[in-house]
Amino acid sequence: MTSSSLDFMVSRQDLRQGQWQTTPLPALSDGEVLIKVDHFALTANNITYAAFGEAMGYWNFFPAPEGLGRIPVWGYGDIVESRHPDLSVGERVYGYFPMSSHLVIQADRVSKSGFIDRAEHRAALAAVYNAYLRVSNDASHAAPAEAAQSILRPLFMTSFLIDDFLADNGFFGAQQVVLSSASSKTSLGLAFTLKQAARDGISIVGLTSRANIAFVESTGYYDRVVAYEDIATLPRDPTVFVDMAGGGSVRAAVHSHFADQLTYSCSVGGTHWEDRMATPDLAGPRPTLFFAPAQIKKRHADWGPGGLDKRLGGVWTAFLADVAGWLKISEGRGPEAVEAIYYEVLEGKSRPEQGHMASVAA
């Protein structure tokens, strides 16, 4: 019987201060299962969860001692103990985990395809994060695909929904879509989806760090790739800005360059998490936070059951086939490896083509 979990935690005040804690595991109550976390992905998205842990409730998924936070990650685990009649030891599941060796879940609404954690501290959080998929019952599941699924799938859902939201709104009358952090996997997924749709008169422009230009160009997803320093060289055509970087300086530069030619400013991410430059007097429209659940709800109503999944599935399959040409997946196992990957991603030192998987278990 496993008696404790090894948990990676960070200071909520300083994400550079990580530490390991060994937490005793309680004896399971009726309905609970113990999951041994096998492996998970780490990208800038997880750093954003931490940077917005307080503001957006991401610290609430996995409780930690005062002042510390457990960063959520997407990955796979195995049920190693069960007190739920419909969930057996040995079942493999996909979902939202802490950077830990183990997690106890109060399983509820168990169906053939999955279940939820109904723990009280998670009840107020978005349902999508509380759902676990029973991959043992998923005929399409294949072990080699787990890394791509963990690294890209949670991001690609947003990429797809932004493309859909923009198309649904006639691109707000714009002729170009400008994406910041063009090298991020979420932006690459969006650029790929925009490109696949091949809409007349819509040009796809990526903004990135100079060091990432060659890689971003090599994907072929963007019509044009420009360094942050060269924003002023872009044509002042009617433009939608999709902001994955979230930093004040890039936001200010884009708004001031396009000004009244900016037809919509869509705020999505925060990869430039340390650039907190205030932008009180932005030219052009106020940035609007992209709220994926609203677009999901709309499409469920428009397209009916399964309609969204069917449409997303087609582009996702095409994207997966394409990323196989550039995504370099590596896996680090053991606490030291987990920490090294975390700090590398935190500092933005990973190459964009890198896909990190990590595992607390050695």
Ligand X SMILES: NC(=O)c1ccc[n+]([C@@H]2O[C@H](COP(=O)([O-])OP(=O)(O)OC[C@H]3O[C@@H](n4cnc5c(N)ncnc54)[C@H](OP(=O)(O)O)[C@@H]3O)[C@@H](O)[C@H]2O)c1
Is 35 one of the binding residues for ligand X (CB under 6 A)? no
State the Cα–Cα distance between residues 184 and 154, nearest whole angstrom: 13
List of residues 6+ apart from 244 with CB closer than 8 A: 179, 180, 181, 182, 184, 186, 187, 268, 269, 271
Per-residue interface string for the shown chain with ligand X, residues 188-217, x marking contact by CB under 6 A: --------------------xx--x-----
Count residues binding ligand X (CB under 6 A).
Answer: 27
In whole angstroms, how close is the CB of 158 to ligand X at the nearest point? 3
Query: Which of 105, 250 has the CB closer to ligand X?
Result: 250
Given 28, 292, 340, 361, the residue binding ligand X (CB under 6 A):
292
In whole angstroms, how close is the CB of 176 to ligand X at the nearest point? 18
* Assigned token pair, 44: 């800038």
Give residue for tokens 């005040």: 13
Is 155 one of the binding residues for ligand X (CB under 6 A)? yes
Q: What separation in angstroms does the CA of 228 have from each of 182, 196, 205, 225, 289?
A: 10, 25, 12, 10, 22
Query: Which of 33, 194 has the CB closer to ligand X?
Result: 194
Q: How far is CA 203 from the centre of its chain?
A: 25
Query: Which of 302, 347 has the CB closer to ligand X?
Result: 347
Query: Which of 16, 109 has the CB closer to ligand X?
Result: 16
In whole angstroms, how close is the CB of 342 to ligand X at the nearest point? 12
Query: 3-state class of 336 per DSSP?
Result: helix
Given 245, 312, 327, 360, the residue binding ligand X (CB under 6 A):
245
- DSSP letters, 141-185, are --GGGHHHHHHHHHHHHHHHHHHHHHHHTGGGG-SEEEESSTTSH
Long-range contacts of the stretch 327-331 (C-beta < 8 A, 24+): 327/148, 327/151, 327/152, 327/353, 327/355, 328/353, 328/354, 328/355, 329/147, 329/148, 329/151, 329/355, 329/357, 330/354, 330/355, 330/356, 330/357, 331/39, 331/147, 331/356, 331/357, 331/358, 331/359
Query: Which of 43, 100 has the CB closer to ligand X?
Result: 43
State the Cα–Cα distance between residues 31 and 85, nearest whole angstrom: 8
In whole angstroms, how close is the CB of 4 to ligand X at the nearest point? 30
Query: Which of 5, 158 has the CB closer to ligand X?
Result: 158
Is 323 one of the binding residues for ligand X (CB under 6 A)? no
Is 44 one of the binding residues for ligand X (CB under 6 A)? yes
Is 185 one of the binding residues for ligand X (CB under 6 A)? yes
* Assigned token pair, 63: 């409780």
In whole angstroms, how close is the CB of 157 to ligand X at the nearest point? 7
Per-residue interface string for the shown chain with ligand X, residues 261-280, x marking contact by CB under 6 A: -------xxxxx--------
Q: Whose CB is nearest to ligand X?
A: 348
Half-sphere exposure of 137 (CA within 13 A, CB side): 13
Give residue for tokens 């999901």: 296
Is 166 one of the binding residues for ligand X (CB under 6 A)? no
Given 58, 290, 319, 342, the residue binding ligand X (CB under 6 A):
290
Is 295 one of the binding residues for ligand X (CB under 6 A)? no
In whole angstroms, how close is the CB of 162 to ligand X at the nearest point? 9
State the Cα–Cα distance between residues 293 and 157, nearest whole angstrom: 11
Query: Where do contacts with ligand X occur on this chain (CB under 6 A)?
Result: 43-45, 48, 155, 158, 181-186, 208-209, 212, 244-245, 268-272, 290, 292, 347-348, 352
